[in-house]
A and B are shown apart, each in its own frame.
Chain A
Amino acid sequence: VPSTCDWRKARNIISSIKNQKTCRCCWAIAAADNIESLWHIKTQEFVEVSVQELLDCERCGNGCNGGFVWDAYIAVLNNSGLASEKDYPFKGYPNPHGCLANRYKKVAWIQDFTMLDSDEQAIAGYLAAHGPITVTINMKLLQSYRKGVIKATPTTCDPQHVDHSVLLVGFGKGKGEEGIQSGTVMSQTCKPRKPRRSVPYWILKNSWGAKWGEKGYFRLYRGNNSCGITKYPITARLDHSVKKLPISCPP
């Protein structure tokens, strides 16, 4: 396992930050982000897949009412792939006409999906070797998060109560303040700054727009199952028949 890995530094692997708005579709966006990044790693083609197709075509047909990442992958398998975001764009509410998957050409597809072991070292190894994966966390502390590395305890963030799916895009270790800074104003509190400490962290891509957090991303402490990050580490599996040079995770 390398000491650091950040898929954001590889060109066109990570798509732009999405915004779920008031549609509770983090599960669909996390799965779409996962498929987009793996598709590029496997094929070196950049695609943006349709989140709306996942919302309209998941088993309950009301994707803005919550769901799970495995529902997204099952929908992709059932529909033999996903249309592009351009053809089947995100509206932020379920389509009244239901699933329109058959109308559009598929631009990406998966062979399978799988859940990894709940072990942070194994997750890091898999992430570095294969690409970004989805995780589901307790989002309680994200309500007032601005930047830096969140080091939660089971008391401050129950690891069993996970309720928000995001894309895990990398990990690192260093000063907690060296991540991508948001352009927002400093907090209103007037406390002395904490001394800089070297902390291991995960880098996660959220779906609340690029103005939130660290330009749409946030960081969680790595090594103590902060906010239940190891509970559901799930990823699609893509096998591409044409073998191309693998892209490795930039440090």
Chain B
Amino acid sequence: DSLLTKDTGPRPLELTEVFKLFQIKYNRSYTSPAEYAHRLNIFAHNLAQAQKLQEEDLGTAEFGETPFSDLTEEEFGQLYGHQKAPERIPDVVKKAGFEKWGQP
């Protein structure tokens, strides 16, 4: 299709260029070329996931690049979640209905 090859404006950024901008924005550096390649791969995966979320989301949220875009889902959970699943709720955490507030 001739329309597709026609120069209609600035070309889209290559993935490596987008990743370079991400590194600058969030001050990220990687210890080796292998680590860089690994993080680039994760970054690409996360952008694709974000695009999928964007398409599937039923609300008005916008998903895309964030400071966590070079982390796997597991790493993100390990770094920022509280991880431990509650085994039981302490007895002192009582169930209280709204209408019960203020009662002895």
Which residues on A are within 8 Å of B, measured CB to CB?
Answer: 20, 22, 24, 26-27, 66-68, 70, 74, 113-117, 122, 125-126, 129-130, 139-141, 143-151, 153, 156, 163-165, 175-177, 186-191, 194, 196-197, 199, 201, 208, 211-212, 219, 221, 232, 234
Contact = CB atoms under 8 A, between A and B. Distances in A.
B94 to A, nearest CB: 6
B1 interface: no
28 contacts: A24-B82, A26-B81, A66-B82, A66-B84, A74-B90, A74-B92, A115-B95, A117-B98, A122-B97, A122-B98, A126-B101, A139-B80, A143-B71, A144-B50, A144-B63, A146-B66, A148-B59, A151-B59, A151-B60, A156-B57, A163-B77, A164-B82, A176-B61, A177-B60, A188-B64, A188-B65, A189-B50, A197-B60
A141 B53 contact: yes
B18 A147 contact: no
Given A144-B68, A187-B63, A188-B13, A151 B57 contact: yes
Interface in B22-77: 46-47, 49-51, 53-69, 71, 73, 76-77
A189 B64 contact: yes
B43 to A, nearest CB: 11
Contacts, number: 159
Contacts of A190: 12
Interface of B: 12-13, 18, 46-47, 49-51, 53-69, 71, 73, 76-77, 79-84, 86, 89-90, 92-98, 101
Nearest to B13: A188
Given A143-B46, A191-B51, 16 more contacts: A24-B82, A26-B80, A68-B82, A139-B81, A140-B77, A141-B63, A143-B68, A143-B71, A145-B61, A147-B62, A150-B57, A156-B56, A165-B82, A186-B62, A187-B54, A188-B65
Given A163-B77, A164-B80, A68 B59 contact: no
Contacts of A212: 66-67
B25 to A, nearest CB: 9
A114 B94 CA distance: 6
A146 B96 contact: no
Contact of B80 (A24, A130, A186, A189): A24
